[in-house]
Amino acid sequence: MKKFIYLSVIILSSCSSDQSKENEVKEDQPIVDSTITTEIDTVEVIEEPSYIVDTLEQKIIDAGLVDIQTVDPSILVDLKYSSTDNFMEKDVYGYLGKAYLQPTVAEDLAKCQAYLKSKDSSLSILVYDAVRPRSVQQYMWDILDMPINEKVKFVSNPKNGSIHNYGCAVDLTIANIDGEALDMGAGYDDSRKIAYPRHEQAYLDSGMLSQQHLENRELLRETMKAGGFWNIQTEWWHFNRYNRAKAKELYQIIE
């Protein structure tokens, strides 16, 4: 360990020169002047929080589903049920921030993305929801205080098991180069008939949907068809890769 000698130099007034003393200092030892202070700039290092895999996500991983961004990192994800930006205004997914699908379904979604990029490289698929464990669907079903005939407009009856519960359905849209969703004339989770593909022509004729809205929806359907997905007639954003019977044959429901 190095030893540092700190010297204080005291100058005494004296008439005789023989009263002054010389102090010997070795060259390899620093002289510190106590009247001088040095400020050292410090930089605060802020670490990014680690991604937390909670019990719900671990259940999905253990069931063999894959994070779609590991299959195609260019696919955008904004899980609406991991926020309050949904029809319930509740976060029901907790720490879950990644979209999971069955491996083959994720690969088919990547085909859709490739097709879209071939049409317009500035556009991207933006996923709102993918696998939805039945336990979460049951919670959503239970907290909706409305008649069943109204409730089914928002959530499939968990007793039947939705295709989302198998990891074979996906809710999504198309985003531009800035990550902004294209205008589809009705928002995600909109239960009004203006969100129904089967009523598009009527709403176009009434002026409530524009030609651009229809073109955006048609591009989405065309994109998803490239990977073998098809749209349902009550939600422009919902696409199935398999029907319920086939999903049940191929996979286990995610509880």
- Spatial CB neighbours of 139, under 8 Å, sequence gap ≥ 6: 92
Pick the CATH number of 55-250 from 3.30.160.40, 1.20.200.10, 3.30.1380.10, 3.40.50.300: 3.30.1380.10
The domain limits of the chain are 55-250
Q: Which residue pairs from 201-205 have beta carbons closer than 8 angstroms and sit at least 24 positions apart in sequence?
A: none
Closest CA to 74 of 131, 124, 127, 130: 124
- Strands (E) across the chain are located at 66-67, 76-77, 100-101, 124-129, 169-175, 230-232, 235-240
Say what the pLDDT of residue 48 is.
Answer: 55
Tokens of 22: 């010389």
- CA dist 182 and 210 (Å) reads 13
pLDDT in tens, the chain (255 residues): 444 434 343 333 444 444 444 444 444 444 444 444 445 455 555 565 677 788 999 999 999 999 999 999 999 999 999 999 998 899 999 999 999 999 999 999 999 999 999 999 999 999 999 999 999 999 999 988 888 888 887 788 999 899 999 999 999 999 999 999 999 999 999 989 999 999 999 999 999 999 999 999 999 999 999 999 999 999 999 999 999 999 999 999 999
pTM to 2 decimal places: 0.79
Say what the pLDDT of residue 4 is.
Answer: 42
Say what the pLDDT of residue 41 is.
Answer: 53
Say what the pLDDT of residue 239 is.
Answer: 98
Instruction: Determine contact, residues 121/177, Cβ cutoff 8 Å.
Output: no
- CA dist 102 and 185 (Å) reads 30
Instruction: Determine contact, residues 140/155, Cβ cutoff 8 Å.
Output: yes
Say what the pLDDT of residue 133 is.
Answer: 95
- CA dist 37 and 39 (Å) reads 7
Say what the pLDDT of residue 8 is.
Answer: 40
Bridge partners of 172, per DSSP, are: 127
- Spatial CB neighbours of 234, under 8 Å, sequence gap ≥ 6: 153, 195, 196, 197, 198
